[in-house]
Chains A and B, each alone.
Chain A
Amino acid sequence: MTDDIAITPALVAEHGLKPDEYERILGLIGREPSLTELGIFSAMWNEHCSYKSSKRWLRTLPTTGAVVVQGPGENAGVVDIGDGLVAVFKMESHNHPSYIEPYQGAATGVGGILRDVFTMGARPVAALNALRFGEPSHPRTRHLVAGVVAGIGGYGNSFGVPTVGGEVNFHRRFNGNCLVNAFALGIARSDGIFYSKAKGVGLPVVYLGAKTGRDGVGGATMASAEFDERIEEKRPTVQVGDPFTEKRLLEACLELMASGAVVAIQDMGAAGLTSSAVEMGAKGDLGIELDLDRVPTREEGMTAYEMMLSESQERMLMVLRPEKRAEAEAIFRKWGLDFAEVGRTTDDLRFRVLRHGAVMADLPIKELGNEAPQYDRPWRAPAPLPPLGPAGLPGTSWTEALPRLLGSPDLSSRRWVWEQYDHLVQGNTVRKPGGDAAVVRVEGTEKALALSVDVTPRYVEADPYQGGMQAVAECWRNLTAAGADPLAVTDNLNFGNPEKPEIMGQFVRAVEGIGEACRRLAFPIVSGNVSLYNETQGEAILPTPAIAGVGLLPDWRLAAALTFAQAGDEILLIGAPAGAWGTHLGQSVWLREIAGREEGPPPPVDLDAEKRNGDFVRDLIRTRRATAAHDLSDGGLLVAVAEMALAAGLGAELAEPRGPAAAALFGEDQGRYLVTLRTDEAAPVLEAAAAAGVAACRIGRVSGRAELRVGGEAVSLSDLRAAHEGWFPAFMDAPDALTD
């Protein structure tokens, strides 16, 4: 090896490798590694690429089911949607880069997940994102929101994928670490799925797409560390996105896949050339030899170390059938992309890297991936929180509380965000952002897919097990409220430093809750991503295991909307606890925004009731009895009613609430829905509910008056709309925003 740089303990530490991990490397290769080799190990063995702290727990998640074609372990999960078609989807975080450089961090997060999907042979048809920012008053928050939203839009809009939904939340605990989780869904033919496993010895390994530069060197290692006050120095580790190149790469890849030239394909994401090459070889039980002199570069004089660790975007590695080489090259040239044969598969199970004729790395390929350290880190489950007593709760009237809730940072309209995303391109968007789930038609069929991403971090913080279950249940409920059969999920587990037992405890318990809910709801996990070390100066984010689910509708025309359909319709509450509309104020938005308290346990999840209630609601939608449907979540019943009213411009008249008013109107009990029905349907539906063991009651009617009335008091829709629509633009466009 010829790097001529001494491997000191300090250098090892700079690569994010612990002393015992370095010892493991020495044991594996029987000598001191070269600098390039050290870089390769650091790239493969960091938390982001190796899942070394999480793997033990991820193995406990349910990943199989009747519709699952491909579970975790490939670029994206694959589920069967019938008609010879499959849905391919995954979610991935780009948290650390987005905090350092929000536009490019978010943009390349979108680019990465789109690439994961089309690497599998699927054309991306929809994108979602789940975003978490610090408190609105924090000086960095507005800058991050503006940059992240512009970055997501800038990339997705240009690429031509509709961004159809997502989540945006604010909390003090994200002040030092924002979360950017990007989800993409693609459609492929079931006989046209491509994998990363290489097959055949002596075949050409081909490099495609954009040139390699010095951007993002060490990005995955950066993403596996906590932040301190020196994060500004990490800006050069963030990659720069080029959606135009990605769009050409998509079209060229799909054209090439159709030609039959592709044996295996892997995109270059985190750890770039290193991880893509190792993955293809290790999975296929083959060695890989790369000659870096043939890699197209953007800059002069790049070293082997830089080239192996570069995270330049919009690049792919393929193993090609040699007889199709010319045809493949012609396709890439047509799209104006680089095409270079950079290596070959071998039978010696070595990962060999050459630069200027010298061997810069020669490592056992299987061990690089498989022998990464695995940790069973100590963990401590958090103590359960005492129940929230009725003492000291404010008696704020609902007429005052509702506008405040609708105009609060977490419940206000996200229009300011989603109008910056092209949510219509491709012409298949059936339900736009702003509802329970987005719905996109499957082109060329009558079918549609419903999509939703959910998690309530404050619930997970208060009780990780219940919070994990709740994230799954809410996602399942959102798909159900659109009328879809929930199929499968992808998860994005965002937590703090796993070396702290209390953080590891959050992770373990949340994963257990997620696993339990997924098993009981027959909602398997087919792909996912873990993002740890989301901490700054010792303070961790709220634990945020985001769950993105995909559901199937046999006919897009059956998709429900939350919009009230007509005055006079009966409003039914499905799934309410006995004798009350709602009871649980612990960890509710009402408690935080009105009482100024973040206390108590989160609402418990009853998975049997979830399933029963959801199946009942879905049936009402599918049989066209429900004229509108909406699930109850943050803010509870009255916020949900207001959302349905505002979407329609129709009012509602509710009876006097059952049970204490604040809990009835703003409690966040789980497993509940609102549905509206034509008057003559109400009685038979209530009977059917009773027969099915589903709690259901009439709570009021849709009205032609532009107001929301509960008992004797009313608030005008225009006041509610002003509060709901006003907060986000006012926050973003306040004059001092110009100084950001």
Chain B
Amino acid sequence: MRSAIILFPGTNRERDMAAALKRASGRDPAIVWHAETTLPAVDLIVLPGGFSFGDYLRAGAIAARSPVMAEVVKRANEGVLVLGVCNGFQSLCEVGLLPGVLMRNASLKFVCREVKLEIANTQTPFTHAYRPRQIIRCPVAHHDGNYFADEATLDRLEGEGRIAFRYAEGTNPNGSRRDIAGILSERGNVLGMMPHPEDMTDEAHGALDGLGLFRSIAGIGEMAA
């Protein structure tokens, strides 16, 4: 699987992500600076976590207007897999690849803790390695993870199986509507999620529950290659 991580000034979880990709696929991802206007040929583009541009203005708002994003949108529209985690999810919403918005946490505070996630749809390129309705452990670490969209959009996301992950067992850490933790684009090739599966992929993390996501992607990538 060939992958690329987009690096914005202020990104800070690119190393965690690179390690997880390497673990799952055996290959180091390419690191692409936000000012680039082209991308290498890859199966997966990742927008990692962090505080791109300091989260000034709005989380993900300035990253969404970075030069490289035009190419990310183009690739997404061609069907290339795109994964946005945390700040990456916020940026994918800001650039319009995913619907809705991530508001400030209901507690108004940053929250870093482990939550439970239900795999709400296993028929996706990102989740097929998991069992249907499987509950996994996964950490969150964010200040703006409170997913919001209007009722019609939420109904549509649910109806089309585009909710990939939900906070389970009462662990919703941020007030997200309908316990939404991760959603897919209409075509199913773009996933945005607030939790950090990359920080649950190594024995040292205390569990390997996040590895299924990267193995799922690696499987698809190899098939396409």
| B13 with A425: CB separation less than 8 A | yes
**Once the chains are docked, how many angstroms separate the CA of A425 from the CA of B141?**
8
Could you mark each residue 90-128 of chain B with 1 if its beta carbon is under 8 Å from any beta carbon of chain A, else 0?
Answer: 000000000000000000011111000000000000000
Could you say which residues of chain A place their CB within 8 Å of the CB of B54?
Answer: 158, 242-245
- Cβ–Cβ contact B112 & A422, under 8 A: yes
Q: A248 and B202 in contact (CB under 8 A), knowing A420-B110, A427-B16?
A: no
How far, in whole Å, are A420 and B205 apart by their CA atoms in the complex?
19
Tally the A-B contacts, defined by beta carbons under 8 Å. Answer: 83
Bound CA span A459–B16, Å: 42
Q: Report A461-515 residues with CB < 8 Å from chain B CB.
A: none
Interchain CB contact under 8 A, A244 and B141: no
Are B139 and A424 touching (Cβ within 8 A)?
Answer: yes
A70 contacts B by Cβ under 8 Å? no
Q: Report the bound CA distance from A248 to B53 in whole Å.
A: 10
Q: Which residues of A contact B12 (CB under 8 A)?
A: 158-160, 247, 425
Select the residue from B20, B112, B196 with max chain A CB neighbours within 10 A. Answer: B112
Residue B15 CB within 8 A of the other chain: yes
A414 lies within 8 A of chain B by Cβ: no
How distant is B192 from chain A, measured CB to nearest CB, in Å? 19
Q: Mark interface residues in A227-270 (1 if CB within 8 Å of B CB, else 0).
A: 00000000000000011110110010000000000000000000
- Asked if A336 CB lies within 8 Å of chain B CBs, one says yes
The A290-305 residues at the B interface (CB cut-off 8 A) are none
A252 to chain B, nearest CB (A): 10
Residues of B within 8 A of A242 (CB): 54
- Which bucket holds chain B's interface residue count? 20 to 34
Q: Are A420 and B13 in contact, CB atoms less than 8 angstroms apart?
A: no
- Is B10 in contact with A420, judged by CB distance below 8 angstroms? no
Q: State how many angstroms separate the Cβ of A714 from the closest Cβ of chain B.
A: 28
Contact status B55-A158, CB under 8 Å: yes
A122 CB to nearest B CB, Å: 15
**Closest B residue, CB atoms, query A446:** B204
B113 surroundings in chain A (CB, below 8 A):
419
B-side contacts of A247, CB under 8 Å? 9-10, 12, 51
Q: Nearest Cβ in chain A — how far from B211, in angstroms? A: 13
A2 CB–B CB distance under 8 Å: no
In the complex, B143 has a CB within 8 A of chain A: yes
Interface residue? A64 (CB, 8 A): no
- For residue A428, which residues in chain B have a CB less than 8 angstroms away from its CB? 204
Chain B, residue nearest A157 (CB): B110
Is A430 on the interface with B (CB-CB < 8 A)? yes
A150 to B109, CA, bound (A): 8
Q: Is B199 an interface residue (CB 8 A)?
A: yes
Contacts of B16 in A (CB 8 A): 425-427
Bound-state CA distance A405–B158 (Å) is 48
**Interface membership of A701, Cβ < 8 A:** no
Distance of B35 from chain A, by nearest CB (Å) = 8
Q: Once the chains are docked, how many angstroms separate the CA of A160 from the CA of B12?
A: 5
In the bound complex, how far is the Cα of B113 from the Cα of A429, in angstroms?
13
- Check A243 against B111 for contact (C-beta < 8 Å): no
B197 vs chain A, min Cβ distance (A): 11
Q: Do the beta carbons of B204 and A244 come within 8 Å of each other?
A: no
Q: Would you call B50 an interface residue if the criterion is a C-beta within 8 Å of the partner chain's C-beta atoms?
A: yes
Q: Is B135 an interface residue (CB 8 A)?
A: no
Residues of A within 8 A of B42 (CB): none
Query: With a CB–CB cut-off of 8 A, which chain A residues contact B51?
Result: 157-158, 160, 243-244, 247
A556 within 8 A of B: yes
Cα distance, A418 to B111, chains bound together (Å):
9
Q: How far is the CB of A626 from chain B (nearest CB, A)?
A: 19
Query: Nearest Cβ distance between residue B172 and chain A, in whole angstroms?
Result: 14
Using known A-B contacts A244-B56, A426-B16, A427-B15, determine if residue A336 contacts B204 with beta carbons closer than 8 Å: no
Q: Please name all residues of chain A whose beta carbon is closer than 8 Å to the beta carbon of B141 when the two chains form the complex.
A: 157, 422, 424-425
Question: Contact between A441 and B204 (Cβ–Cβ < 8 Å)?
Answer: yes
> For residue B19, which residues in chain A have a CB less than 8 angstroms away from its CB?
427
Query: Quick check: is A22 within 8 A (CB to CB) of the other chain?
Result: no
* Chain B hits for A443, CB < 8 A: 15
Assess whether A214 is interfacial by the CB under 8 Å rule.
no
**Distance of B34 from chain A, by nearest CB (Å):** 11
Contacts of A334 in B (CB 8 A): 33
Assess whether A457 is interfacial by the CB under 8 Å rule.
Answer: no
Given contacts A160-B12, A244-B54, contact A422 B110 (CB under 8 A): yes
CB of B204 within 8 A of CB of A423, answer no
Residues of B within 8 A of A421 (CB): 110, 112
Minimum Cβ distance to chain B for residue A102 (Å)? 15
A423 to B199, CA, bound (A): 11
Asked if A153 is at the interface of the complex by the 8 Å CB criterion, the answer is: yes
Does the CB pair B112–A424 fall under 8 Å? yes
CA of A422 to CA of B111 in the docked complex: distance in angstroms? 8
Q: Are B199 and A424 in contact (CB under 8 A)?
A: yes
Let me know if B112 and A419 touch, CB within 8 A: yes
Q: Which single residue of chain A is at the shortest CB-CB distance from B20?
A: A427
In the assembly, what is the distance between CA of A98 and CA of B146, in Å? 30
Bound state CA distance, A158 and B20, in angstroms? 21
Q: By the criterion CB–CB under 8 Å, are A157 and B15 in contact?
A: no
Give the Cβ gap from B25 to chain A, nearest Cβ, in Å. Answer: 16
Closest chain B CB from A157 CB (angstroms):
6
How far is A423 from B20 in the complex, measured between Cα atoms in Å?
Answer: 18
Is the beta-carbon distance between B10 and A158 smaller than 8 angstroms? yes
Given contacts A153-B110, A426-B16, 16 further A-B contacts (CB under 8 A): A154-B110, A157-B110, A158-B55, A160-B12, A242-B54, A243-B54, A244-B51, A244-B54, A244-B55, A248-B9, A419-B113, A424-B196, A427-B19, A427-B202, A428-B204, A443-B15
Chain B residues packing against A (C-beta within 8 Å): 9-10, 12-13, 15-16, 19-20, 33, 49-51, 53-56, 109-113, 139, 141, 143, 196, 198-199, 202-205
20 A-B Cβ contacts within 8 A?
A150-B109, A157-B143, A158-B51, A160-B13, A242-B54, A244-B9, A244-B56, A248-B9, A248-B10, A420-B109, A420-B111, A424-B112, A424-B139, A425-B12, A425-B199, A426-B15, A426-B16, A427-B19, A427-B202, A441-B204
Which A-B residue pairs are the 9 nearest by beta carbons?
A160-B12, A244-B54, A427-B16, A158-B51, A422-B141, A422-B112, A420-B110, A153-B110, A424-B199
